[in-house]
Homo-oligomer: A and B are copies of this chain.
Amino acid sequence: METKAATSIFESLSSSWRLEAFRLLVKQGPEGMVAGDIASALDIAPSSLSFHLKALTHAGMVTVEQEGRFQRYRANIPLMLDLIAYLTEECCSGNPGKCVDLRAASSCADALLPPISPK
C-alpha cells in the first residue's frame, strides 16, 4: 500500500460520521446496508451521509452496489486488513525482542500482530 492510499483511508475514518458508518458496515458484514438505513441508524441528514459515504467510497473502504432504487453499501474488509498490515509492518525493524513488551501492554495483545520472527 502506498502512503497516499493510506492517508486517504485514514482521512476517510477521521470523522465521527464516517467512522460510525464504517463500523456499522463492518458489523453488518457481507450483507451490508442501504443508504437510508444507515442514515436512520446514525440519525444524519441524507445529503450529509451521502457526502461522507462518497469519501469512504473514494478511499475504497466501502463499496456500493445499486439494488433497485436503493444503494447498498458494504465495508471493504480486505482493505481494512491491508491497512492494518501497512501500519504494523516493519514494527521495530523486525527485531523480535524489542516488540514483546509493547505488545503485552495492549489490551488486544498478540493476536493482532504477525507472529514474531526475524526479518
The residues of A with any CB-CB pair to B shorter than 8 Å are 3-4, 6-7, 10-11, 13-16, 19-20, 23, 26-31, 77-82, 84-85, 87-88, 90-93, 95, 98-99, 101-103, 105-109, 111-115
Q: How many copies does the complex hold?
A: 2
The contact sample of 29 A-B pairs, CB cut-off 8 A, is A4-B16, A6-B19, A7-B15, A10-B10, A10-B11, A10-B19, A11-B11, A11-B14, A14-B14, A26-B90, A28-B92, A28-B93, A29-B98, A29-B102, A30-B92, A77-B91, A77-B99, A77-B106, A78-B102, A78-B105, A80-B88, A81-B103, A81-B107, A81-B113, A84-B84, A84-B88, A85-B112, A111-B115, A112-B113
